[in-house]
Amino acid sequence: MISQADYLFFVDRALDGMTGILLGLGDELANRKPALPGANTPYQVLTHCLGVVEFWGGQVVAGREVRRDRTAEFTAAGPVAELVERTAAVRARFAADVAAAEFSAPVRREPPPHWRNYPGGISQGAALQHVYEELAQHHGQLEVTRDALLGG
């Protein structure tokens, strides 16, 4: 089984990669959609990832009420520096949620309806794995988005 420290190492790598991309792009490009069908801005993708971390780590695993407007994540815009600061705060809360998690125990709050048929019921560890799954997927998406925005 993976340790909490190992798990957070990989989560942090994905978040470091995403914040590094936004910092490299700057405010203007981080808030621009590439010329790809259905694309989102880098700012929106990272905002969505923070929503995933807060909802799944905070509500589903830790059991606290999290108010999330998933739709608004995909219209978000703003200065990169503020989003990077928010990322640091979300990471700190998430590290505390992971430290308090019981990986083999059932989740503390119900996941969204389409997850309720998870074989054997979803554990806190499986919910945390889903967080990493989303971060890894969107980190790769941001790499492609960056390349499209920079014309490479």
pTM of the model: 0.95
Backbone angles phi, psi at 104, to 5 degrees: -95, -5
Please list, residue by residue across 44-64, b when 16 or more beta carbons sit within 10 angstroms of its beta carbon and e when fewer do.
bbbbbbbbbbbbbbbbbbbee
Q: What is the pLDDT along the chain (152 residues), one digit of tens a residue?
A: 789 999 999 999 999 999 999 999 999 999 999 998 999 999 999 999 999 999 999 999 999 999 999 999 999 999 999 999 999 999 999 999 999 999 999 999 998 888 878 777 899 999 999 999 999 999 999 999 999 999 96
Range of the domain at 18: 4-149
Residues 6+ apart with CB under 8 A from 109: 59, 60, 63
Task: Tell me the CATH number at 59.
Answer: 1.20.120.450
4-30 vs 124-149: helix axis angle to the nearest 10? 30
For the purposes of burial, counting CB atoms within 10 Å of the CB of 1, is it exposed (0-12), middle (13-18) or buried (19 or more)? exposed
pLDDT in tens, 41-59: 999 999 999 999 999 999 9
**Number of domains, the chain:** 1
Neighbours of 128 (CB within 10 A): 26
CA distance 110 to 36: 35
Backbone angles phi, psi at 35, to 5 degrees: -80, 65
